[in-house]
Amino acid sequence: MRSSLCSLLFFFLTPAFAAVVPYHLVIDTKEVNFSGRERTALAINDRIPGPTLRFRVGDTAEIVVENRLAKEDMSLHWHGLLVPNAQDGVPYLTSPPIAPGESRTFRFPLRHAGTYWFHSHTGLQEQRGVYGSIVVEPDGVDSVKADRDYVVVLSDWTDERPKEVMRTLMRGSEWYGIEKGNAQSLFGAWRKGALRDYVDRERSRMPAMDVSDVAYDAFLLNGAEQQDLPARPGERIRLRIINAGASSYFYLHSASGPLTVVATDGMDVEPVEIPRILIGMAETYDVLFTVPSSGRWEFRATAQDNSGHSSLFIGPDGAALTKAASLPSPELYSMDDMLVGALDEGESIDLPRPPAPYPHLRSRTTTDVAPEPGAGTRTLELRLTGDMRRYLWSINGRTLAEDSTIPVREGEVLRLKMINDTMMHHPMHLHGHFFRLLNGAGDHAPLKHTVDVPPMGTRTIEFLADEYGDWLFHCHLLYHMDAGMARILSYRAAEDAEHKPEFDPNLDNPWFYFAQGMVLNNMTMGKVMAMTGREDFYATWDYGFGHDHHDEYEADVGWSHYIDPNLSAGLGYRLTNEHHAENRAFANVSYRLPYLVASRLELDSEGDVRLALGKEIPITQRLSIDGDLHYDTGSGWEWAIGASFVLTKELSLAAHYNSDHGAGVGVGFRF
């Protein structure tokens, strides 16, 4: 009600000369080739990225969004713009999804200047190309003087279907690390002189670190891997840089020297020179670039994991090109490199791989906020939690499906202290508000809508709760949000404890299906599984050929509940013809021991107990060995040792010795 009244007042009080600015955006499929292979993407007005929407403060946007997809709903969210709650474009929560063949008109006032963007908030469509840029000019004289103004939209592209990427991540596959050449191994640790770090990490039960979840086929700048920007020597260029990547941070750097930051997330900051800028997904930075007296100069956006980059070449056509220096690769075996952001107080600005430049950002105007009378200031601690192997991402240990709502009292100042308990960066975005990033700048703390929370680091933000409605708050790493790292900040829930905001059913524990195993000349073994949220439903088999002149088998069907990264429990039923064994029901508990040793304790309906231990050791990125040992009070000891060499995402060469079935060679498979 209050938000609607504010919007109506804005319309009536807007000067008569303010324009209604119309756009028509059509979402449809498009054949693209970003990596040498033809793929079907999604495009806006037949473009990736979509067109730049340009407005002036005081204008009214009138945007018709037409869905021409054959079978998919879609949506558009106006990222960073303060819009009425019903115009925010989050399906089910604030706006109905746009069904195939339907259109929807969004109409809202432009309340503030800056660089923003728009993107789909349906499923994983953003990864497939549904994004574009927004520029809002001030209603008076722009405080930033530039000869040219240029929008730079960064993104990442995969030839895989995004749902297959998510499925790969959910099954804990190491394939993307192998594909990028940065999977950890014993040999790799030895080459880096980091065996002690490797052993210490495993002793602490921490899986191998990685900078980025996905191996991308291309990194794009305005839809291409490189682009020319003709400019004359001495010209001052304003680059409005938007990270529209689904799951890639970028380092921004220029061959000409430091970049002058003049705005972040659309809000002006005092100009500051930064040699290299780490930009998280959904952040924007406006920077100034002065063209040197001669030559062309490269502005480069390098993926944080150093697996690729895109480039902008600025200067006169045909002039000699000066390339930007390549950045060193991340040091994955040492936690020190990953923890720089957690410890940063501004001294790390000159590092080759610096953290986000937040200590150096200072608003041009005071941003201090005070609660309305009687409302007060409240602090919430939010721990960013997750498990890279299972790919379950959460806040305070619970996903959006498990705990969706944070009540917000209108008029209060809400302070969110975010503590990252993981070894991944998380760019946290709040819809419908700008927040103050408490970075030591006092009354001049910068305003932002998205903030990077580095591994094991802490960020504190605060805002005045004056935008009534239900607003999404989530990690803008697309696959983390899809896996559950989100909440809904609800003003309505503070007034009505029974209020439960709706959200996209795609985020409510979707199902994933997997199969993996080995086929050898002496046996076959494997597992098929269906996963949803914390629940696994599975069937396993172990079938030996011709052992003691007859075949032996053991097959389980069961259910397992994931409790935390180290603990799960379940029930099942076993079918077997092994000697001294018979069909039986069982209950088990699985626990991850130090050195990442998998253990399982099982009690069955015949009164037998089984204890099992297992461990896989990557020797190189593609070669690994594994061992299993179990003791059953009914059938006795059984052990196995094997080796596997990864050929493709789906296939491996395998050699295996089992104490019951002997030695065999063959292939491993993963689907």
pLDDT tens digits, residue range 149-190?
A: 999 999 999 999 999 999 999 998 899 999 999 899 999 999
The mean per-residue pLDDT over the stretch 416-440 comes to 97
Residues 475/94/264/388 CA torsion (nearest 10 deg):
10
pLDDT band per the 50, 70, 90 thresholds, residue 207: confident
- The answer, yes or no, to whether residue 11 has pLDDT greater than 90, is no
Find out whether 129 and 99 touch, Cβ atoms under 8 Å.
Answer: no
344 pLDDT higher than 90: no
Question: Per-residue confidence at 8, pLDDT binned at 50, 70, 90?
Answer: very low
Question: Strands 236-243 and 284-290, how do they pair?
Answer: antiparallel
Confidence at residue 494, expressed as pLDDT on a 0 to 100 scale: 93
* One-character DSSP codes across 520-542: ESSEEEEEEEEEETTEEEEEEEE
Of 640, 638, 630, 580, nearest to 610 by C-alpha is: 630
What share of the chain in percent tops pLDDT 90? 86
Distance between start and end Cα atoms, the chain: 51
Contacts of 443 (CB under 8 A, 6+ apart): 366, 367, 368
The rounded Cα 356 to chain-centroid distance in angstroms is 17
The predicted pLDDT at position 168 comes to 95
- Which pLDDT does position 15 carry in this prediction? 44
Mean pLDDT of 12-23: 69
Among 28-37, 426-435, 508-517, 547-556, name the one with the lowest average pLDDT: 547-556
* Mean pLDDT across 551-574: 96
CA atoms of 369 and 496, how far apart (whole Å): 26
Q: What are phi and psi of 538, to 5 degrees?
A: -140, 165
Q: CA angle at residue 579 from 608 to 614, to 5 degrees?
A: 60
Distance CA 29, CA 471 (A): 30
Neighbours of 15 (CB within 10 A): 7
Structure tokens given for 670: 């993963």
- Which ranges of 466-585 does DSSP label H, i.e. alpha helix? 478-482, 491-495
Res 346: pLDDT = 67
pLDDT at 547: 61
Contact between residue 612 and residue 628 where contact means Cβ atoms under 8 Å apart: yes
Residue 543, burial from CB neighbour count under 10 angstroms (0-12, 13-18, 19+): middle
- Taking the CB of residue 117, how many other CB atoms lie within 10 A of it? 27
In 10 A of CB 566, how many CB atoms? 11
pLDDT of residue 545: 86
Mean pLDDT, rounded, for 263-269: 98
The whole-angstrom separation of Cα 250 and Cα 286 is 15
Which DSSP category does 98 fall into?
A: B
Q: Which of 241, 465, 444 is nearest to 359 (CA)?
A: 444
What is the average pLDDT value for the chain, to the nearest integer? 93
Percent of the chain topping pLDDT 70 = 97
Amino acid at 256: S
User: What's the pTM value of the predicted model, to 2 decimals?
Assistant: 0.94
| 12 has a pLDDT exceeding 50 | no
For residue 470, give the nearest of 516, 406, 415, 392 by alpha carbon: 406
Amino acid at 79: H
pLDDT at 299: 97
Which tokens go with 390?
């299972």
pLDDT digits (tens, 9 = 90+) for 304-334: 999 999 999 999 998 999 999 999 999 888 8
- Is residue 596 predicted with pLDDT exceeding 50? yes
How far apart are the C-alpha atoms of 406 and 311, rounded to whole Å?
41
The pairing of beta strand 309-314 with beta strand 226-229: parallel
* Rounded Cα distance, 377 and 464, in Å: 9
Could you tell me the pLDDT band of residue 6, with boundaries at 50, 70 and 90?
A: very low
